[in-house]
Amino acid sequence: MNIKPTELTDTIINLETVNPIEFFGVNNGKLDILKKKFPLLKILSRGTQIKLSGAPEQIESAREKIELLIAYLERNGHMSENYFEQILGGDDSETVDNFKDHHPNDVLVFGPNGKSVRARTVNQKRLVHEAEKNDVVFAIGPAGTGKTYTAVALAVRALKNKQVKKIILTRPAVEAGESLGFLPGDLKEKIDPYLRPLYDALDDMIPADKLGYYMTTRTIEIAPLAYMRGRTLDNAFIILDEAQNATDLQLKMFLTRIGANAKAIITGDMTQVDLPRNQRSGLVTAVRILQNIDGIGHIELDEEDVVRHRLVKHILRAYNKEHEKEHPQDHYKKDK
């Protein structure tokens, strides 16, 4: 019996809607991952095109994955090698569902000049989901994972939709190896640098003149955590940023300020505690004892959610490995 050889064919896929460098990776690192996933295909990159050569069924399988990769990049603009591998390797419906966009209205807010702000990674989307179904959410993760930025976007959306009457953004004014006393200026000028990341996020989401109006009318308030004492925060979206630098008493004080029709997001990075050595981070305690209360959500972000420079993810991994070697008994461990 004569068996006909499998018919081979060519297909070209255009990448005109995404950045080819972001798709192929530095030194074609992601392209190499794609080639390993489909070893029976000949895969060539040509500028803004990919050429696939091989059996039709293999080409069709590769095309489906590549279209999913393109769709993800069109929405997010950036994709780590880890996510690239997850999309290529995840054939189950749950994995595919994580990366497909079933929510055309997933833009959290439109900033100045029509810039859209949205959750860009799987865990950032989970943070949005947790905030929509809970009144208090703890968002824990390293620097650059977008936890504060996403939280501010949620707050601005709630204000624009008239779900709340004001936004309150607060941080503990704790020195990160520096001293407030030696900084020039009055108290506000001393403290403002600590709150600068919150101002930067707002600048991306609200036109300057309107932001100025909101600040003047105290519709948006940015203040050190100590200023929250004695207040009741009603009809507000409250964000406590850098909560790892709050003590047990400070965090308890903050959480008990929450009033009627209020939402709160508490963000923090367990690996960057700047408190004096004799003081324990209140965030560690709060995450532990408030784990199973209905209405309080918890989300952990990791290095795969980093949307800064591509090296930040690798820098975080290196520091995490070093920390694990030096503190194997650490009482806070992230569940995998």
**pLDDT attached to residue 254:** 94
The CATH number linked to 59 is 3.30.1370.10
**pLDDT attached to residue 319:** 81
Q: Are residues 115 and 231 in the same domain?
A: yes
**pLDDT attached to residue 324:** 72
Our count of domains for the chain comes to: 2
Cα distances from 26 to residues 23, 35, 74, 140, 150, in angstroms, run 9, 15, 18, 29, 27
Of 15-29, 136-150, 158-172, 238-252, the one with minimum mean pLDDT is: 15-29
**pLDDT attached to residue 86:** 76
Helices (H), the chain: 20-24, 29-37, 56-76, 81-89, 93-99, 122-133, 147-160, 187-205, 208-216, 248-255, 282-289, 310-326
318 domain residue, yes or no: yes
Q: Are residues 219 and 315 in the same domain?
A: yes
Average pLDDT over residues 81-110: 62
Q: Are residues 87 and 114 in the same domain?
A: no
314 domain residue, yes or no: yes
Task: Give percent of the chain above pLDDT 90.
Answer: 40
What is the per-residue pLDDT across 126-170, written as a single tens digit (0 to 9) for each? 999 999 999 999 999 988 888 999 999 999 999 998 999 999 999
**Host domain of residue 74:** 9-99
CA nearest to 180, candidates 172, 188, 189, 190: 190
**pLDDT attached to residue 46:** 84
Determine the Cα–Cα distance for residues 83 and 78; give it in Å rounded to an integer.
10
Determine the Cα–Cα distance for residues 157 and 271; give it in Å rounded to an integer.
30
Q: Are residues 85 and 121 in the same domain?
A: no
Q: Is the pLDDT higher at 32 or at 332?
A: 32
Q: Are residues 168 and 184 in the same domain?
A: yes
Q: Are residues 176 and 54 in the same domain?
A: no
Cα distances from 99 to residues 47, 60, 130, 159, in angstroms, run 25, 19, 18, 28
**pLDDT attached to residue 331:** 44
Q: Are 163 and 155 in contact (CB under 8 A)?
A: no
Q: Are residues 90 and 129 in the same domain?
A: no
- Model pTM score: 0.63
**pLDDT attached to residue 281:** 92
1 domain residue, yes or no: no
Q: Is the pLDDT higher at 180 or at 189?
A: 189
pLDDT band at 5 (very low <50, low <70, confident <90, very high): low
Determine the Cα–Cα distance for residues 227 and 222; give it in Å rounded to an integer.
10
* Average pLDDT across the chain, whole number: 82
Dihedral (Cα; 236, 300, 132, 247), 10-degree rounding: -20
Examine the pLDDT at 110 and tell me if it is beyond 90: no
Examine the pLDDT at 176 and tell me if it is beyond 70: no
Q: Are residues 126 and 83 in the same domain?
A: no
> Which residue among 64, 99, 134 closes a domain?
99
**pLDDT attached to residue 92:** 43
Burial of 22 (0-12, 13-18, 19+ CB in 10 A): middle
Q: Are residues 131 and 237 in the same domain?
A: yes
Q: Are residues 116 and 27 in the same domain?
A: no
Examine the pLDDT at 75 and tell me if it is beyond 70: no
**pLDDT attached to residue 82:** 75
Q: Which two tokens stand for residue 48?
A: 């803004």
Cα distances from 149 to residues 32, 104, 326, in angstroms, run 33, 21, 31
**pLDDT attached to residue 88:** 82
Examine the pLDDT at 3 and tell me if it is beyond 50: no
Q: Is the pLDDT higher at 221 or at 47?
A: 221
What is the per-residue pLDDT across 270-326, written as a single tens digit (0 to 9) for each? 888 888 888 889 999 999 999 989 999 999 998 777 766 667 667 877 887 786 776
Average pLDDT over residues 176-193: 52
Q: Are residues 83 and 198 in the same domain?
A: no
331 domain residue, yes or no: no
Q: Are residues 145 and 240 in the same domain?
A: yes
Task: Give percent of the chain above pLDDT 70.
Answer: 80
The CATH number linked to 123 is 3.40.50.300
Of 54-68, 114-128, 189-203, 219-233, the one with minimum mean pLDDT is: 189-203
218 domain residue, yes or no: yes
Determine the Cα–Cα distance for residues 99 and 313; give it in Å rounded to an integer.
20
CA nearest to 80, candidates 335, 317, 308, 320: 308
